[in-house]
Structure 1
Amino acid sequence: MRKNLVASVAFLLASSTAVFAQSATDGKVKIGILNDQSGVYADFGGKSSVEAAKMAVEDFGGKVLGVPVEIVDADHQNKADIASNIARQWYDTEQVDAIMELTTSSVALAVQAIAKEKKKIDIVTGAATTDLTGKACSPYGFHWAYDTHALAVGTGGALVKQGGDSWFFLTADYAFGYSLEQQTTDYVKASGGTVVGSVRHPLSTQDFSSFLLQAQSSGAKVIGLANAGLDTSNAIKQAAEFGITQGGQHLAALLFTLAEVHGLGLEAAQGLTLTEGFYWNRDDESRAFAKKFFARTGKMPNMIHTGTYSAVTQYLKAVQKAGTDDTDAVAKLLHEMPVDDVFGRGGTVGANGRMIHDMYLLQVKKPAESKEPWDYFNVLATIPGKEAYIDPAKSGCDLVK
């Protein structure tokens, strides 16, 4: 009888272990961070987003469902074809369960289409276009950190209220720039302002002189920089050489983060108004997170880095709760579960995949106002998530009923 009992217990343990192992379909959970690591957006996200993802895994315990969690990463060089090839390889042959970050809207749209085709998860933190949760939405696609509508409501709305009611746009010539210009245009006009013109520049251009001269001669009160990363920094530097702000025009950095302010310096960036989804010096919790991040990267985190940490954490929570890494089960929970972490406090996810959370209207401090390194912003206002983001029912996503 003892032998039979031991054999039965051994069989049950073996069976339960086998079932448990099947919950992670290939014995591990693998997340890919795909972004710009060498170009115009390298500081915006880059290797620091990879570190944020690794932090999230470590803070989660390194495992989920009893199997290890692995982070892989690659540089898409801001090219949709390169990103698409990497995504297909990751999904098809390298057992990657989810791809995240995806700086550059053209890249994010391409990878989200592949993820939809392959029935895999993608969570975008680095790209901005609202098409990701609009006409290009996917049941497996999520948009996490910010989007062009939130930036338009924040920075655009603030400047119109302050009297900046005529605009000229200097716009990056790809999907992100078009979306940011259009969203801000709509918001400016709805607020009683006008748009007198726009000009488009190539991604990663080094010479903004002809574009800035057109903006200067337009006579617009506000020159909206519908670009990001080094493009925005270079435009601001060259605008100073033309004396644009000294002449009374205001520069609106529509997508500018802590990383770019640091690169530009307070002397050049002071007074700029911008919108972010996170500020490291907000409270004790954000400061504690930032201190850990700084120890790994030598910089304080912006909304892309912290948003990536949040996205990885929430994905792992969904896998844990589902008891499997099956895409449909995890996607269902990602839509249902509230988001409550250092980034997305009180966040919710709409049927279109948009994570709705508060945004912050910020102004860059004068050098004399900064009390310590990386103390760059005054928080002017908190923008409630329901104001910052498009109502999912009005997003144009065919998943919303």
Structure 2
Amino acid sequence: MRNMLLASVAIFVAGASAVFAASAGGVSDGKVKIGILNDQSGVYADFGGKSSVEAAKMAVEDFGGKVLGAPIEIVDADHQNKPDIASNIARQWFDRDQVDAIMELTTSSVALAVQAIAKEKKKIDIVTGAATTELTGKQCSPYGFHWAYDTHALAVGTGGALVKQGGDSWFFLTADYAFGYSLEQQTSEFVKANGGKVLGSVRHPLSTSDYSSFLLQAQSSGAKVIGLANAGADTQNAIKQAAEFGITQGGQRLAALLFTLAEVHGLGLQAAQGLTLTEGFYWNRDDESRKFGERFMKRTGKMPNMIHAGTYSAVMQYLKAVQKAGTDDTDAVAKELHEMPVDDVFGRGGTVGANGRMIHDMYLLEVKKPSESKMPWDYYNVLATIPGKEAYIDPAKSGCDLVK
């Protein structure tokens, strides 16, 4: 009996010591847990999906697997592009599963819902997959960060380039939710500010299969440019069906306002050639990005787009912030995330504004002709680098009440 009592005491002391050591190291529950919440089965599955989960795991491995002596864990879930499902998962992760931060969050309506919960629960969220500027505007949060791109950066890049090239009349084909509205609005403002005009728009349901009536309206508008204010498989399907209607052969130009390497690959160079688009990352940009791309390819069978590389960057920067703060306390980590520069394979010389917007360069890209491509996934010509201060809204003008 005495031996059993001594053994119990020893186990208790060992357990208490482990808890104390973790707390002393600044990690509240003995581990740092990051949730990747995104679309893994729907219209944006290639856009981010399971490949973003792999990017997060790459960042953890590159960081060393531990922070402040505590293990780092990645969990993931499919929100199915539904804010209610995403909200339930986020609450469970925060309340029951000891998740410290949620990232990726493809789909703007989902990202806004989860950011509100993270603010309520005093937890970090870093959005790489959603685009709306509301995340760092009127609905900003002291614990919310927006990393890879946003609708303003896309409007400045693709919209600005086409107006300068003579595309001064536009008609929009817009996804019927927050992201689509924001992208259409900001591109419209940029077109008008540069002397162009908007002839109209039509909205389509997310993940629709038939674009014929929408494309016919766009075609009959006579606009020089048809702006596709959608993303993922929606954009791919719209472009394929536009070809069936002979829209580009008739002289109108398609502007893919949110199109990434994943969608170009899905569509193929034959169909995508000549498209102008904007991304925050291209794997074939330089030696460092090529090395990252090759590692990512071995794990996923594809080259990374800006969502994948942005997720890697977000996870890495969060872990650096925990390390520098000496704790996983949310306020301390958020302070470091706002103050630390971002310098990695994704964000070169990046800074984070008081509204949580990570400001970094974007790239204006043109999809190559099949004859120009030198190797698999060699899909882009880099037309221009858009400096971060031009690409993103000045935090002081964002509408975020955190900006003094």
Q: Deviation per CA, 1:135-175, whole angstroms, max 9, x where unpaired?
A: 00000000000000000000000000000000000000000
How far is 1:17 from its partner? 8.6
Counterpart selection for 1:321 from 313, 324, 347: 324
1-structure distance, mates of 2:375, 2:91: 45
Q: Which residue number in structure 2 is paired with residue 172 of structure 1?
A: 175
* Aligned mate of 1:79, from 77, 82, 85: 82
The equivalent residue for 2:344 is 341
In the other structure, the counterpart of 1:254 is: 257
Q: Shift of residue 243 of structure 1?
A: 0.2
Contact (CA 8 Å) 2:104, 2:311: kept in 1 or not? yes
Q: CA deviation at 1:20?
A: 4.9
| Aligned counterpart in structure 2 of residue 184 of structure 1, from 159, 183, 187 | 187
Per-residue CA distance 1:189-243 (angstroms, 9 max, x = gap): 0000000000000000000000000000000000000000000000000000000
User: Shift in Å at residue 281 of structure 1?
Assistant: 0.1
Q: Distance in 2 between matches of 1:78 and 1:303?
A: 19
The equivalent residue for 2:203 is: 200
**Counterpart-to-counterpart distance in 2, 1:197 and 1:272:** 21
Match of 1:5 in 2: none
How far 1:19 sits from its partner (Å)? Answer: 5.2
Match of 2:51 in 1: 48
User: 1:219 maps to which residue?
Assistant: 222
Matched, 1:237 2:240: yes
Q: CA deviation at 1:21?
A: 3.3
Taking the TM superposition and a 5 Å limit, the aligned residue runs for 1:100-115 are: 100-115=103-118
SS class of match (1:184)? helix
Quote the residue 2:4 is aligned against. Answer: none
TM-score, scaled relative to structure 1: 0.96
Shift of 1:180: 0.2
**1:60 counterpart = 2:68:** no
Letter in 2 for 1:209: S
Whether the aligned pair in 1 keeps the contact of 2:293 and 2:303 (CA below 8 Å) is: yes
Unaligned runs of 5+ in 2: 1-12
Identify unmatched segments of 5+ residues in structure 1.
1-10
1:69 aligns with 2:96: no
Query: Would you say 1:96 and 2:99 are equivalent positions?
Result: yes
Q: How many pairs were matched up?
A: 389
**1:305 maps onto 2:308 in alignment:** yes
In structure 2, what is the Cα distance between the partners aligned to 1:17 and 1:377? 51
The one of 126, 146, 169 equivalent to 1:143 is 146
Give the match's secondary structure for 1:146: coil
Per-residue Cα deviation, 1:239-276 (whole angstroms, up to 9, x for no partner): 00000000000000000000000000000000000000
User: How far off its partner does 1:18 sit?
Assistant: 2.8
Q: For the residues of structure 2 that align with 1:371 and 1:262, how far apart are their CA atoms?
A: 15
Q: Give the alignment partner of residue 368 of structure 2, picking from 327, 350, 365.
A: 365
Identity of aligned residues (%): 89
CA distance in structure 2 between the aligned counterparts of 1:289 and 1:218, rounded to whole angstroms: 44
Report SS of the residue matched to 1:361: strand
What CA RMSD, in Å, does the superposition of the two structures yield over aligned residues?
1.2
Instruction: Report deviation, 1:290.
Output: 0.4
Residue type at the aligned position of 1:18: F
DSSP 3-state at the match of 1:40: coil
Provide runs of 4+ in structure 1 moved above 6 Å: 14-17
Give me the whole-angstrom Cα distance separating, in 2, the residues matched to 1:191 and 1:85: 43
Partner of 2:41: 38
Q: Secondary structure at the match of 1:300?
A: coil
Task: Give 3-state SS (helix, strand or coil) of 1:26's partner.
Answer: coil
TM-superposed deviation, 1:15:
8.2
Q: Does 1:284 align with 2:301?
A: no
